Amino acid sequence: MHRTEPVPHKEIEVKLEVAPAGLSALKKLPLFKAIKATAKRADQVSVYFDTDKLKLRRKGLMLRVRREGRRYVQTIKSSDNAGLFERNEWETEIAGKEPNLSKARGTALEPLLTDKLRRRLKPLFETRVRRTIYPVVDNRHAIAVAVDRGTIDTGKRSQRLCEIELELERGTSAKLFDIARKLSQALPARLAVKSKSERGYAIVDGEQESPVKAIPVDIPAGGSFAR
């Protein structure tokens, strides 16, 4: 019997966290003024799956099902032996919102797929994102610059997200990092070390940033805040 398996590829991307107010300056940058192609917009809902004991995360794996329109795409990512900006990725289109684990053959997830793991997999959190993709293309490079605005939601807690994701589709990574550097200099942006999935797991773990009560400050009489 012929067996089809998802084709792996090396994902190379950089993410920048940006304040929502800073996005208004994006189209004024020379890089974006030079883009001839029309930006593509889409609403995406991505559900991330793991066990209660977070076995996939502990093994450096991520399992996600993303819906865009009527299309569902299952993605498996592995950070094993990859650099900060690189991950191994397997993507395949599936019929519905639940993972199709028969499509995990030939991926980094396959060795873990015992009957016990299959029973214990469940949705942990989801992201809802409005994505706008700007294609940066020349003779040597193709880079997708995606602006994502939305939320990460565990059902009990949520967190807003606003980020720019740059993914290398063709060419050298040096060009990718050069564009990321220019964007971080021109916008109120900073390097996002955590991916969406890592930020979701942080909320599940209770690591979401929360307000902290300040300690009393002793201000001497006649003191001033001027500097």
Whole-Å CA distances, 80 to 56, 61, 66, 77: 12, 8, 22, 9
Contact (Cβ atoms closer than 8 angstroms) between residue 124 and residue 92: no
**In this structure, what token pair is assigned to residue 33?**
């003024």
- Cβ neighbours of residue 44 closer than 8 Å, sequence gap 6 or more: 66, 67, 68, 127, 128, 129, 131
The pLDDT of residue 193 is: 84
pLDDT greater than 60 at residue 20: yes
Helix (H, G, I), strand (E, B) or coil at 120: helix
The pLDDT of residue 207 is: 66
**In this structure, what token pair is assigned to residue 211?**
């307000």
Candidate from 31-35, 51-55, 121-125, 207-211 with smallest mean pLDDT: 207-211
The pLDDT of residue 28 is: 86
- E strand spans, 79-200: 86-94, 122-137, 142-153, 158-170, 189-191
- Cβ neighbours of residue 127 closer than 8 Å, sequence gap 6 or more: 44, 45, 46, 48, 150, 151, 152, 153, 161, 196, 200
Q: What is the mean pLDDT of the chain?
A: 86
Fold adopted by 8-204: Hypothetical Protein Pfu-838710-001 (2.40.320)
Residue predicted with more confidence, 198 or 35: 198
pLDDT mean over 31-57: 93
Q: What is the pTM assigned to this prediction?
A: 0.84
> Residue 77 belongs to what H/E stretch?
strand 71-78
The pLDDT of residue 84 is: 61
pLDDT tens-digit readout, 80-108? 655 566 789 999 999 999 999 999 999 99
